[in-house]
Structure 1
Amino acid sequence: MIRIAAIVAVIVAGVGLLSMFFFADKGGEDKYAECGSGAVAGDLGGPFTLVNGAGETVTSDEVITGPTLIYFGYTYCPDVCPLDVDRNAAAIEILEQRGKMVTPVFITIDPARDTPEVVRDFAEAMHPRMIGLTGSIEQVAAASKAYRTYYKAHPPVDGEYLVDHSTFSYLVTPENGFLEFFRRELTPEQLADKIGCFVDQI
């Protein structure tokens, strides 16, 4: 029994040390605890290379230059995407009125139809500071994989098709990378409050 207790004590101590290392390595994420940061298993987010509305190849370092709210969707989406992106834009406006600047980003998961010009026009219609991004099938897939988003296109019918996809929005910063994801059920005011909490801690 004594030997088992000793082994358990070693395991507990090891877990504690690993936890300390994890939070230290991630830049002290515990400072965001009051913001209700949800636990995410493993790393989420990461570098990507995509194409902006001007047809220029850009990296995540060039896009994420401050607090950034990222959404993966597609411009031909009949209902969910426009509502979600509009909600994000409204939250960005609320934050701006509070003196907090957050950049909204739209990344398509339908690069076959969402050309640079299409994502540019879509993003500009949603918010004047929104960045629209597309890319090759491989570039989009890599960005989606980094954020662990899901998407799957339906078989075309008369040349048209829908794309099933996840609907989270992701808050990231250049200093800390991924901070939090948000569900679509949040109102613009609720989303602004949650994002604002993180921005205040940066």
Structure 2
Amino acid sequence: MLNQRLSAALSVSRVFRAAPLRSFTLSSRLQQKSAAPETPELSSKKPLSRIAVGVNTPPKATATPSGSLEFASWKAIVLLLVTGGGFTWFFSREKRRLAIQKEAEANRGVGKPLIGGPFNLVDHNGNTFTEEKLKGKFSLVYFGFTHCPDICPDELDKMGLMLDELKKDNINLQPIFITCDPARDSPEIIKEYLSEFHEDLIGLTGEYNEIKSVCKRYRVYFSTPPDLKPGQDYLVDHSIFFYLMDPEGNFIDALGRQYEADGAVAKIKEHVASYLPADQRQQKKEAWYGFLFK
């Protein structure tokens, strides 16, 4: 009986001794649990939309790389500049061409030409040369004389430069030298004189009355000293111009000493590029835009 009581007391003692250990273990777990940060639970509900019900949402803009936009703007600017420059160049050229045509038409005159006309002379080879030989190509006519000390040689040198420069653009003028001093300028003398300047030059002479008539038709002033004795040396005073004639033998421009060779070449090129035959000029005058040529 005593043994049974001692066994029971030992069992109770063991229980009380083990209890603090379990209590410590449980409190440690509670402390660890309380020390751990609380993680908020994820809500299963979706957030409310801020867009009002019934309002159409704008479509999302498609993102375009900034480089593509800059390249497109650059191309548009270049295209605008090129197009604008092209139109400006075209209208400027046409405006200039129209002005040259009107200038040439005014110089041709209506009916009888203001400058130029029929003549009958002899060339440096002794052959007859009339106004008909001015037709078919542009001609450049100069009046002078072989005994001229300075002006005529300078102008004939300039004419040679003009002819060579124009040939580079396939413009072949017919250069003509008409003497104002037929008493001393025979065909043989003119031929020798012109050989020093340009191989294309054609020299013309004739009777005094014929020379006087052609000078009058071309509005060329010339004079010789009165009361000349045979064999006496003298100078001839004359006007100084290059007369540009079109392929129909009509006068279109007079180029004076204010033109250097390059300036005269540029002017002649404009006339050649703007030239229209008589039938085409008439058609333009009768067209609805004919007022432009008046």
- Please give the range of the TM-score, normalised by the shorter of the 2 chains: 0.7 to 0.9
TM-score (norm 1): 0.78
1:34 and 2:107 matched: no
Structure 2 regions of 5+ residues with no counterpart? 1-95, 276-294
Residues 182 and 35 of structure 1: CA distance in aligned 2, closer, same or farther (over 3 Å)? farther
Aligned residues: percent identity?
A: 35
Which residue is 1:75 aligned to?
146
Cα RMSD of the aligned pairs, angstroms, is 2.3
Residues 62 and 200 of structure 1: CA distance in aligned 2, closer, same or farther (over 3 Å)? same
Residues 80 and 114 of structure 1: CA distance in aligned 2, closer, same or farther (over 3 Å)? same
2:134–2:248: 8 Å Cα contact kept in structure 1? Answer: no
Which residue is 1:167 aligned to?
240
Structure 1 segment 4-153 matched on structure 2, within 5 A: 33-34=99-100, 37=103, 43-153=114-224
Q: 1:186 Cα shift?
A: 1.0
SS at match of 2:161: helix
2: CA distance between counterparts of 1:45 and 1:33?
A: 22
Which residue is 1:196 aligned to?
269
1: CA distance between counterparts of 2:163 and 2:223?
A: 29
Q: Which one of the candidate residues 176, 187, 192 is aligned to 2:260?
A: 187
Say how many residue pairs are matched. Answer: 173
Structure 1 regions of 5+ residues with no counterpart? 1-29
Q: 1:35 Cα shift?
A: 6.9
Q: 1:125 Cα shift?
A: 2.1
2:135–2:249: 8 Å Cα contact kept in structure 1? Answer: no
Please tell me the residue identity of whatever aligns with 2:123.
Answer: N
Residues 65 and 114 of structure 1: CA distance in aligned 2, closer, same or farther (over 3 Å)? farther
Please tell me the residue identity of whatever aligns with 1:34.
Answer: I
1: CA distance between counterparts of 2:103 and 2:249?
A: 13
- Indicate the structure with greater helix content: 2
Q: 1:52 Cα shift?
A: 0.5
Structure with higher Rg: it is 2
1:38-72 Cα distance to aligned partner (Å, 9 max, x none): 76587111121100011122211124431000000
2: CA distance between counterparts of 1:190 and 1:168?
A: 14
TM-score (norm 2): 0.54
Q: 1:31 Cα shift?
A: 6.1
2:134–2:249: 8 Å Cα contact kept in structure 1? Answer: no
- Indicate the structure with greater strand content: 1
1:108-137 Cα distance to aligned partner (Å, 9 max, x none): 000000000111222232111110000110
